[in-house]
Structure 1
Amino acid sequence: MGKASSREWTRIYLIYGMDQWQAFVFLLCQAILFSVLSILYLYYFNEISHTFQSFLSMAAVSGGAARFAAGFTGSVTALSALCLFYAATNFFYSAVPLHSEMAQRIVDTVPDWSTVRLVLDLGCCGRGILLNTAAARLKKEGGLGKIIGLSGPSPVELAATLRAAKVEGLEEYVTCRTGVATKLPFLDGTFDAVVSGTFVHTVGREQTADVAAAERGRAVAELVRVLKQGGIGVVWDLLHVPEYVRRLQEMKMEDIRLSERVTAFMVSSHVVSFRKPTHHLHGPPEVRLDWRFC
């Protein structure tokens, strides 16, 4: 698929759509509402000022103060509209163009795809942007590699993922199955590479904070378990990536790299990559900043 250009994201959107579009529509509607209120404030400013003055006259507040209060309220309304438009734009950008770009960066982190035979996309989020980006690389290498997308139990989501792979001409490289991230249905050392995009933070989200953190730790441990010795893991996720880094350090993973912050869905996100050692290590591993993601 390659890195998305300004002219390609429309094609990406047509194929994959946008998950959680309700949030985008809600933000956009709120932005439009506040914009309309701002225009009404500007058009009826004198009348609104008089209304403020009538309310504040009982407190012996001057007319100038009433006009200031009306102007301040209108300014806050206009600023809220701008913030909501920005949030809606960032949400859309994160869901489509940024997701495609980060998928390509995740794939580029795996150094040698010619040796990769089996890949796991943990979470297989959305319609499979990351899944199909990895499948496209396998196809480009001309090998017999396969990628398995593991998702939740929704048959609608799985059907949409497989449909997108067919549209991209990658169906022979892609398969999907359901499972739980904290107990993956695969044997130890099954995969040459494991990738994941904006999924692990959702593990245990319905639990308390401590329980959710423990569940995310189990998901990271499972990711490591199913990875072959010498295999590469790459996780792009929101909010909790430093927590994953600590877990990987505890498990003695090698070549742990942490990207700088990337704003996605109005929060901070990072990419962490690592390699499963082929032998037991002693001492804490080094964590490096990977400037490729900046």
Structure 2
Amino acid sequence: MFEYQLTIQSAKNPGRPIQGSCRMGKAGRDWKQVYEIYGVENWWSVVALFVQAAIFAALSVFLLAFFEPLSVSLHSRFPAIPAPILRLAAGVMGSVAGLTAGFLFADAAHSLHTSAALRWAMAQRVVAMVSDWSTVRTALDLGCGRGILLNAVALQLKKEGSAGCVVGLALRGNTVAATLRAAVTEGVQEYVTCRQGDPRRLPFAGNYFDVVVSGRFMHTVVGVEERGRVLGEAVRVMREGGVGVVWDDDRVLVAEYAERLTGMGMEEVRVAEGMVVAFRKPVGGGATQRVGVVVAPKEYDYLSVSTG
């Protein structure tokens, strides 16, 4: 069980600080349901790891089961080598095969867990960083992927009875339909929309979103300067007093985000447990960084498009 707390600023009431907290222990949701909705990311890699692990496990069992005959066979082929050394070699091969199988099984299990279960748990943590969702009318999920964090935000908006909407920015257009189907399955389609776009040139006007979130996306942007541009765009489209929460799984990159945001003049930049960076855009402008192209309002009328 762990707990963390963060003081941030209300997006609608900049003068009032709010508290974001999260307590997580046992999973609050059936993980089978999570996998049924969102599937397994890069499932072929997980399958390949399990297959390799099974092969090495079978090899280890074979060497253990036929240790004596194998030792005799090796001694007959290499009579110049003392029998104890050959027995040791056979034992080492069996041990190495067993250890390799164990590591591969562990890697496969870790990949399976982080594919959806961990992402769902961390999505709840990201959402919990903003406690006053009742004031949120517009939110952006930068790099929405399969929609795990996107739908977590939408579920929170639904819980609050909000009339708000969360927009998911997808890198590839062929993933948008699947993301919207997941929203329908979660029962939050009226709160969700999704579109393709370049995170380095966000197709939104400045000072538009109350909240901007991102989960395990920033590390896919290659290059320090490019990641800086993406962060700058996230800041640009965020309203003054708005809140940003970025989760990634690389401590070095998380430190980079915090340093970059501090350099942009963001306030209350914090790194919370679980490699989550939260910050607030100051009121009064001046500290924001404009990157990319501002799109006219008429070009994002997709916000009202039904996702059903």
TM value normalised by structure 2: 0.80
Structure 1 residue 259 corresponds to structure 2 residue 264: no
Deviation at 1:54, TM superposition (A): 5.1
Change (3 A) 1:41 1:112: same
Match of 1:187 in 2: 205
Equivalent position amino acid for 1:48 in 2: L
The list of structure 1 runs, each at least 4 consecutive aligned residues, that deviate by more than 4 angstroms after superposition, is 54-58, 279-282
What is the alpha-carbon distance in structure 2 between the residues aligned to residue 6 and residue 75 of structure 1? 39
Structure 1 residue 242 corresponds to structure 2 residue 264: no
Q: Is the 8 A contact 2:138 2:166 kept in 1?
A: yes
Q: Is the 8 A contact 1:35 1:78 kept in 2?
A: yes
109, 125, 141: which one pairs with 1:105?
Answer: 125
Deviation at 1:225, TM superposition (A): 1.3
Structure 1 portions without partners, runs of 5+: 205-211, 263-269, 283-294
Q: How does 1:91-102 map to 2 (within 5 A)?
A: 91-102=111-122
Change (3 A) 1:62 1:281: farther
Match of 1:118 in 2: 138
Match of 2:279 in 1: 274
Match of 1:267 in 2: none
Deviation at 1:153, TM superposition (A): 2.7
Q: Is the 8 A contact 1:245 1:272 kept in 2?
A: yes
219, 233, 238: which one pairs with 1:222?
Answer: 233
What is the alpha-carbon distance in structure 1 between the residues aligned to residue 206 and residue 28 of structure 2? 41
Equivalent position amino acid for 1:197 in 2: G
SS for the counterpart of 2:248 is strand
Change (3 A) 1:218 1:7: closer
What is the alpha-carbon distance in structure 2 between the residues aligned to residue 168 and residue 20 of structure 1? 22
Please give the per-residue CA displacement for 1:16-59, whole angstroms capped at 9, x wherever unaligned: 1111111111111111111111111111212332344456545x
Please give the per-residue CA displacement for 1:229-280, whole angstroms capped at 9, x wherever unaligned: 11111111122211111111211211112134x5xxxxxxx21111111147
Match of 1:265 in 2: none
What is the alpha-carbon distance in structure 1 between the residues aligned to residue 282 and residue 28 of structure 2? 39
Q: Is the 8 A contact 1:233 1:273 kept in 2?
A: yes
Match of 1:49 in 2: 71
Equivalent position amino acid for 2:61 in 1: I
Question: What count of residue pairs does the alignment treat as equivalent?
Answer: 262
What is the alpha-carbon distance in structure 1 between the residues aligned to residue 77 and residue 206 of structure 2? 71
Please give the per-residue CA displacement for 1:131-151, whole angstroms capped at 9, x wherever unaligned: 111001111111210000000
SS for the counterpart of 1:238 is coil
What is the alpha-carbon distance in structure 2 between the residues aligned to residue 189 and residue 7 of structure 1? 35
Q: How does 1:30-41 map to 2 (within 5 A)?
A: 30-41=52-63
Please give the per-residue CA displacement for 1:146-178, whole angstroms capped at 9, x wherever unaligned: 0000002332x1111101111111111000011
Structure 2 portions without partners, runs of 5+: 1-22, 288-308
Identical-residue share of aligned pairs (%): 47
Match of 1:291 in 2: none
SS for the counterpart of 2:111 is helix
Match of 2:50 in 1: 28
Change (3 A) 1:117 1:77: same
Match of 1:138 in 2: 157
What is the alpha-carbon distance in structure 2 between the residues aligned to residue 82 and residue 40 of structure 1? 16
What is the alpha-carbon distance in structure 2 between the residues aligned to residue 6 and residue 166 of structure 1? 21
What is the alpha-carbon distance in structure 2 between the residues aligned to residue 142 and residue 40 of structure 1? 61
What is the alpha-carbon distance in structure 2 between the residues aligned to residue 119 and residue 277 of structure 1? 17
198, 204, 224: which one pairs with 1:213?
Answer: 224
Match of 1:72 in 2: 92
Please give the per-residue CA displacement for 1:169-223, whole angstroms capped at 9, x wherever unaligned: 111100001101111111111110011111111113xxxxxxx222112111111
Higher RCO structure, 1 or 2 (CA under 8 Å, sep 6+):
2
Equivalent position amino acid for 1:40 in 2: F
Match of 1:86 in 2: 106
Deviation at 1:67, TM superposition (A): 1.0
